[in-house]
Amino acid sequence: MSKDQQEEVSTQTQVGKPRRTNSSRFNADEEGKRRATLLKRVHVVRTRGERIQVSFDAKGQPIGKEGDELQSWIGVLAREHIPIWIADFRSADLEPRKEQVWLEVVTSFTVDESHKKQVLKSCGESAKCFRYDLYQAFVRDHIDDESVWQRPAKVVKNYPTISQDDWERFITYRRTGDFKRLSDQGIERRKKSKYGSTTGRDGYRKRDQEIFEKTGSYADRHVIWRDTRIKPDGEYKNPSIKIIGDQIDELTQQDTQGSFESVGTEDILTKSLGNPEHSGRLRGQSKFVKQAQYYNAMHVPRENPEVSFMKRQLASLERTVQELCAKHGINRETMAEEAAPETVDQHNSFKASCTLNEKDADAPDPQPMPNESKECQLFLTDFINGGEVLVALGRAYMDYVPTDTVHGIPLGAGNVRVTISVPKLKRALIPIPTNEATYIEEAVGGFVAWPKKLVVIQSSLSQASRGPSQAPDPEAKGKKRIKKRAGRNKLHSQPEVQQQTAEEVPPTFDFDAIPIELRPLAYYAQSSLSDGSQISCPPQQSDEMPIYIGYEDVYDFITFKEISASSIMVYISYLSDCCARVGLDQRFVFISPFLVSPVQQNVDRVAYIRERADNIIRIITNIPRGRLVLMPYNSGQHWILAVINPWDDSVLYFNPLGNDPGEDFQQLITLALNDWKLLVGRGITKRRNCKTLIQTARCPIQQGNVQCGYFVLGFMREITLNVDGLALLQNKTSYNEADLNLVRQEWTTYVMSFIQY
């Protein structure tokens, strides 16, 4: 190094100790130093129209020389395509650039679509490291100097893709308080890191491959973690790592003797480190390895995360109890014997059928509970044929407060708390699912919320008199429809079920309670539709059947009650027209809820899911890349919206109740997208049985009981009529009355446009 260069380096590092960085890559003028990577072999292969064949092991890691070239090429693409001023690689603004990176990768290497996420993740990390090196080499020590705004000569020479504007935006962000805060947080986290590896880039991946080549099998992750922290002389990097290494050796010996069993992430490494594994992390493995791939390759049984969490909680409580007993000198065994009550042949049990102990003569008579339960029949609405279907028997607690909770969820207005004792249709979806139960058979013996109008009190009927209600006559389709909406067949609380009359008077509007904008349609429905006439609305697609709206649909919508699938389809048709007028009709595809919602109960469940999945496949078969699929879905008395991106194998799940998707929805989506990938030849045969990424998205949460349908209409409006609708919806925290009334006004105006006077 020349004297001038020595002076320059000395000037740049006057304050503090020298920092270890990869800034040598910028010293292109120094002989023997690392220069900007060009990877000429990749360019030569691309010029010939060929691609480099990359092999992946069972864990999903690129292996061999070609794997190393792929990693290096990803770094080159990160420097060329990812702006240095970007603050977050997850930004939606980067999606076009990510697609360009992926296109460059598959143009030069044979990489399957299933590795796309990990390739882009590696690209993000490479871009982050590049920005860090630039900052350390040229900015940190001169952040307050005016000269820092000018691109350094070495950056101009080695990285011509970095423009002056890019550099200025890079400096601007590095001067902000947000960056300073994040930088300080990173420094503090780094100080807490005691177990740094002794290897360089891809140390885990290369060590894993070395062991596999020697032994023919993969090593456990605790072996790789330990090996990558041992220096060439055989000593651990520092005393802290030696403690963990000794713990690993001890647990490995116990595992060999059979006294320690690894289950999922609760393995030797997790036990030795003393803190649990997070879902997005797998210590001791490269960034290309996902947890599922690791466990499949190692044939390790995976444990439910909730079970693992509960085990850790119990262990923590046990340690706390032991510490308290030791502190106060308490013998737990003696305390347990003293606290045990005297018992003589006790038979009492919550579930026992044997004779109970005789009543104590001195005991007072039990007082009735303030909220007595009554025997009842539980119904669900048949959205296709009309009416209701008996799905279960149970007991209902009719005295309720809307703020009462069931499994932590507010009961809501119009609902009662019920317990199911006898399921009639075991696989019927309960109207208000919980995290514990989705189907009738899963809720037996537990409490769930149920719409009060679908509960029939049967306190004086004998068990023998109960039976499933008669389903509507399928041949009656096309006749005059008296009842079609949810809750049409009025459920009474008299001892006996009242018989439906042949002709039932439809409900009438309270015009004073209806917003002025909705009254014209209400007047028309009252005068022209109460006799069974219908309004014919055009469908979304010209080859589909018209949508028919009857008096019951209008009454429900205007009086803010549950809405039918027909009402949903009318609004979809309206949104399609709006998108066509503003040139956004090529961005979205809608799927009718009639085709995907589980409205039939007593059918072959597997065949029924297959039938609905085929409907999805038929609609998305020919959609181009980049188009989103909007699918309203009724899980049983509750509407949700699914936004599907089939090309990215991802689904955003918008639920106005905030619950996670149920089993039927997950199986339907996974089956449809996996078979679609096979149909269009995307080469994902090996992943046929994998689960599609279904993400529960943030969205406004409903406060009432009947608002879900209107919220779903609002979700679709937000997404389709805004340029960045998905992001706007996920940032929106609530819908007020004005938001919902806007949707209702648009629906009403659209229906009015098809009235023929």
- Which amino acid is located at 469 in the chain? S
The set of long-range contacts for 401-404, using a CB threshold of 8 Å and a minimum separation of 24, is none
Flag whether pLDDT at 654 surpasses 90: yes
Summarised one tens digit per residue, pLDDT across range 676-703 is: 887 776 544 344 445 567 888 889 988 8
Indicate if the pLDDT at residue 49 is higher than 60: yes
User: What local confidence, expressed as pLDDT, does residue 344 receive?
Assistant: 38
Residue 747: pLDDT band with limits 50, 70, 90: very high
In the prediction, which pLDDT does 714 show?
92
Tokens 């061999």 label which residue? 64
Q: Check residue 643 and give its pLDDT.
A: 93
What's the rounded Cα separation, in Å, for the pair 655 and 701? 8
Torsion of CA 183, 184, 187, 189, to 10 degrees: -110
Tokens of 277: 């594994």
Label residue 402 by pLDDT band (50, 70, 90). low
pLDDT digits (tens, 9 = 90+) for 513-553: 888 888 889 888 888 888 778 888 887 776 567 888 889 88
For residues 625 and 586, the answer to whether their CB atoms sit within 8 Å is no
Residue 353 has pLDDT above 90, yes or no: no
Highest mean pLDDT among 139-153, 337-351, 388-402, 591-605: 139-153
Q: Residue 414: phi, psi to the nearest 5?
A: 85, 0
Q: What does the alpha-carbon distance between residue 427 and residue 671 come to, in Å, rounded to a whole number?
A: 19
Q: In 329-395, which ranges are continuous DSSP H helix?
A: 332-339
3-state secondary structure 560-627: CCCCCHHHHHHHHHHHHHHHHHCCCCCCEEECCHHHHCCCCCCCCHHHHHHHHHHHHHHHHCCCCCCC
Mean pLDDT of 282-289: 78
How large is the average pLDDT for residues 252-259? 80
Predicted confidence band of residue 339 (pLDDT cuts 50, 70, 90): very low
Q: Is the pLDDT of residue 712 over 90?
A: yes
Asked whether residue 16 carries a pLDDT value surpassing 90, the answer given is: no
CA distance 666 to 644: 12
Confidence of residue 604 (pLDDT cuts 50, 70, 90): confident
The pLDDT value given to residue 461: 36
Burial letters 297-328, b for 16+ CB under 10 A, else e: bbebeeeeeeebeeeeeeeeeeeeeeeeeeee
Please tell me the predicted confidence (pLDDT) of residue 341.
Answer: 43
pLDDT at 630: 93
The predicted model gives 202-216 an average pLDDT of 80
Higher pLDDT, 270 or 467: 270
pLDDT at 197: 78
pLDDT, residue 400, reads 67
Q: In this predicted structure, what is the pLDDT of residue 498?
A: 36
Band (716; pLDDT cuts 50, 70, 90): very high
285 in Cβ contact with 202 (< 8 Å): no
pLDDT of residue 216: 77
Average pLDDT over residues 373-392: 75
H or E segment to which residue 551 belongs: helix 551-558
Q: Do strands 109-110 and 650-654 pair parallel, antiparallel, or not at all (unpaired)?
A: unpaired
The angle at the Cα of 460, spanning 456 to 466, to the nearest 5 degrees, equals 60
The residue written with tokens 């939606």 in the block is 92
Listed residue (522, 458, 459, 452) closest to 487, CA to CA: 452
Range from 112-116, 499-503, 698-702 that averages highest in pLDDT: 698-702
Q: Which residue has the tokens 């269009």?
A: 680
Determine the pLDDT at residue 349: 30
Mean pLDDT of 39-64: 82
pLDDT the model gives residue 6: 40
Residues ≥6 apart with Cβ < 8 Å to 690: 670, 674
Of the chain, the percentage scoring pLDDT greater than 90 comes to 8
Average pLDDT of the chain, as a whole number: 75
Which residue has tokens 């350094």?
Answer: 152
Residues in the chain: 757
C-alpha of 477 from chain center: 39
Average pLDDT over residues 45-66: 83
DSSP secondary structure letters along 404-468: -EETTEE--TTEEEEEEEEESSTTPBPSS--SS-SBGGGGBTSEEEEEGGGEEE-TTS-GGG--P
Helix (H, G, I), strand (E, B) or coil at 630: strand
Segment 289-322, tens digit of pLDDT: 777 667 666 655 545 554 555 665 666 667 777 7
Q: What is the largest CA-CA distance in the chain?
A: 106
- The tokens for 570 are 């009318």
Out of 102-111, 537-546, 569-578, 593-602, least confident range = 537-546
Q: Is the pLDDT of residue 597 over 60?
A: yes
How far apart (Å, rounded) are the C-alpha atoms in residues 221 and 218?
Answer: 9
Q: Express each pLDDT in 128-186 by its tens digit.
A: 989 988 998 898 888 888 888 999 988 888 888 898 999 999 999 888 888 888 888 88
| SS3 label, residue 394 | strand
In this predicted structure, the answer to whether residue 603 has a pLDDT above a threshold of 50 is: yes
Bigger pLDDT: 631 vs 755: 631
For residue 89, what pLDDT is reported? 86
Question: Lowest-confidence range among 59-63, 435-439, 722-726?
Answer: 435-439
pLDDT at position 365: 42
Confidence of residue 757 (pLDDT cuts 50, 70, 90): low
Mean predicted confidence (pLDDT) in 79-99 = 87
Beta bridge mates, 230: 236
